[in-house]
Structure 1
Amino acid sequence: MFRPLARTALTIAVLASAVACSSDDTGGEGYTLRIGATSPTGTPAGSLGWGDKEGILTEELKAAGVDKIEYSFFQSGSDAASALIAGAVDVAAIGDNPALRARSRDPKVVLLALDSINGDAWLVGAKGGPTDIAGLVGKNVTAPQGTIRDRAAKQLIEAAGLSDKIQVRDVPTPESIAGLSSGQIDATVVTGASAIELQEKGFPIIDSLSKHGFGSTGTNIALTSFTDQHPGFEQAWQKAITAVNRNITENFDDYTAWIAKTDDTSVDSVRKSTSIDEFNTEPFPKQGVEQLEAAYNFLNADGSLENEYSVQEWAGAKS
């Protein structure tokens, strides 16, 4: 449940400074944990941000020797995954697409936990345009390539049996939403409260992942070089993530109000786009692993993965 930031010099500077900060630079028995994620505000967002704000992450990770947490923020999950591979961060909290791709490139990528499941995405149309997927044949459909929004668009098109008739163009979400308003784009995929805001402004919701039993997951990955160096970390991280999610489910109204404030949107939009069952209270719930595997199967069939592997083994052995 982590959202994007701007790239260019900021990402390069953050990555460079993160490389300079060794995860064992504290000089004592404890160490600094470097977490890479996406954020629209330059501060920890979503469930990660809640865990940081409430002090849950800091408290639970003490058992693994973590005495400080430093954050680096990136434009996309792919950027955060690249930072992990480069040794700039110790943990990447990202969506399932970039995590699955990272594991296909490097078998040393460890899946620490799923921090969310049942993530939804909405295919939103232009005002006065098609209200079903069949009406998008020959139309302009967009989504940023390599993201959950891109995968969601293609999954929904495939579910309608129209994969050979509708192409998805690679256009960033802000430009896609602007294109909807101007009439230059006929449909795009949006996640979170933005979809509800668009619907309330008269843009039709054409389809969504949840209508078909699809869903996305939030993943937390590390490298075996890090987990081998800190043998108690995996268990502590899983305990921390599930503690954060349990706290969210127990304080859902407070959580959604905080999200609305930090994202500068309405509480109503956040609550309409956020389900309490997104916050898994075990690290590898069966439903989440199935959703992760479905994402893997789609990406593999799409030719997006460099090497094949077993998602069940990647996650299931730890459940």
Structure 2
Amino acid sequence: MRHSKQTTKQNRGLRLTLTMVLLMAIMVIQACGGTGGNNGANASAPPPAAPEQPSGADNEPVPAAKKVPEKFTYLFVGATGKQSGAEGWGFHTGIIPEVLAQYDIKESVALGGGTGPDINEALLAGRADVATTGDTPQLLTRAAGNKTKLIGFTVTQNESYLLGKKNGVSTVKELEGKTIAVVKGSIMHRYVVGLLKENNIKANIINMGWPDSYAALARGDIDAFAPAAYDYTSYRMAEEEGYPVLDRGIDHPPLLGTSVTVAREEFLNQYPDFVEAWNAARTAALEDLKSKPDEYYAYISEITGTPIDVAPILYPIELIADTENSEQGIERLRLAKDFLQEEKLAAGDFDLEQWIYN
């Protein structure tokens, strides 16, 4: 009996030990995740969340941010602080700043005043980034080695004409040995030189500003004066006061000029997407003014003092350039550059194609 009790006690101890070992094994299996049919996941637990997809899924590239300035300054020639053309209309109506804002250009400052050389001085000093002037100042500053880039044309058919004094000569042929006033280095200067060459005439060409030329022509101190076709004072002298028009530049296409928009090369290197934004804004402004000619000509009359019925004659919408790079404009720039070098007005030479921003 003693042996039987002892055996029974041993068997109970063995069963208790086995039970404890079994329980410990189950706990270890649960802790390690096991290898059951649900890949070790607890049947009562929710499935793991799917990883978050990065933006640009389905292998679509994420567009890079445009490299544009938050703010830039634009200059133009104009004593009234207002400008004609698509640029002037675009800033007047707010269309240009609005479109530029879509490209994250938050502030655009447009300032008028001074001459082409004044504007170039501001550009080179870094006080402005972009500017519009006649082609001659920009060709001269680039020929001098100043780093600018041509980004577009505003007009590709700038016309000059020749206004004679009353009771003076009546034809170009009669200008032999006579005195003609021009603004030296201007589109008008190139026109007069080209016109005299075409007619094999030698005349005395003097440098004189427009207000002084009006007075000199009225006094008879000069025989002719070459203004721009948009100049209202000269238009009035011809149409209302009887001063004879001796010739028009429109009859000599190679002697027509252009107006251009340039930007500092450093500015464009820093903000290569600016030109895309600028062209989009200018195009929007041009399309708008073409759809509202009466409003546009009223604006022109206001800023220039030109009578409303004369504004379409001196500032025709049809002359506003509608492309960024014009074959006609580039050819006229080439002719203008050649003229400035022939007349020894340019400080040096440069590659015109390299000047154009691409």
TM-score of Structure 1 vs Structure 2, range by shorter chain? 0.7 to 0.9
Among 279, 294, 297, the alignment partner of 1:256 is: 297
Q: Distance in 1 between matches of 2:309 and 2:177?
A: 35
* Worse-superposed segment, 117-126 or 70-79: 70-79
Counterpart residue identity of residue 353, structure 2: Q
Specify the SS of the correspondent of 2:226. Answer: strand
1:204 lines up with 2:244 in the alignment:
yes
Partner of 2:331: 290
Partner of 2:215: 178
1:66 lines up with 2:100 in the alignment:
no
1:46-65 superposed Cα distances (whole Å, 9 cap, x missing partner): 12321111212112222443
1:226 lines up with 2:263 in the alignment:
no
The aligned runs of 1:42-61 (5 Å cut-off) are 43-47=81-85, 48-61=87-100
Partner of 2:143: 104
CA contact (8 A) 1:90 1:222 kept: yes
CA contact (8 A) 1:246 1:281 kept: no
CA contact (8 A) 2:149 2:264 kept: yes
**Cα drift, residue 107 of structure 1:** 5.6
Structure 1: gaps of 5 or more residues: 1-28
Partner of 2:44: none
Counterpart residue identity of residue 119, structure 1: N
Q: How many residues align?
A: 286
Q: TM-score, structure 2 length as denominator?
A: 0.74
Q: Distance in 2 between matches of 1:109 and 1:256?
A: 32
Structure 2: gaps of 5 or more residues: 1-67
Partner of 2:313: 272
Q: Distance in 2 between matches of 1:230 and 1:35?
A: 15
Larger radius of gyration: 2
1:149-207 superposed Cα distances (whole Å, 9 cap, x missing partner): 22222222223222xx1121011111101111121121111121423222112111111
The aligned runs of 1:139-218 (5 Å cut-off) are 139-162=178-201, 165-191=202-228, 192-194=230-232, 195-200=234-239, 201-213=241-253, 214-218=255-259
CA contact (8 A) 2:69 2:274 kept: no
Partner of 2:155: 116
**Cα drift, residue 314 of structure 1:** 2.5
Task: Name the Cα RMSD after superposition.
Answer: 2.0
Q: Distance in 2 between matches of 1:304 and 1:166?
A: 19
CA contact (8 A) 1:57 1:241 kept: yes
CA contact (8 A) 1:126 1:183 kept: yes
**Cα drift, residue 257 of structure 1:** 2.5
CA contact (8 A) 2:131 2:262 kept: yes
CA contact (8 A) 1:245 1:280 kept: no
CA contact (8 A) 1:64 1:232 kept: no
Q: Distance in 2 between matches of 1:288 and 1:246?
A: 20
Counterpart residue identity of residue 306, structure 1: A
**Cα drift, residue 309 of structure 1:** 2.1
**Cα drift, residue 147 of structure 1:** 2.2
Q: TM-score, structure 1 length as denominator?
A: 0.83
CA contact (8 A) 2:187 2:256 kept: no
The aligned runs of 1:302-317 (5 Å cut-off) are 302-315=343-356
Specify the SS of the correspondent of 2:155. Answer: strand
Q: Report % sequence identity.
A: 26
Q: Distance in 1 between matches of 2:217 and 2:135?
A: 27
Specify the SS of the correspondent of 2:206. Answer: strand
CA contact (8 A) 1:193 1:270 kept: no
Counterpart residue identity of residue 225, structure 2: T
Counterpart residue identity of residue 188, structure 1: F
Counterpart residue identity of residue 203, structure 2: I
CA contact (8 A) 1:97 1:148 kept: yes
CA contact (8 A) 1:299 1:305 kept: yes
Taking a change above 3 Å as real, the CA distance of residues 152 and 252 of structure 1, as seen in their structure-2 partners, is farther
* Worse-superposed segment, 273-282 or 45-54: 273-282
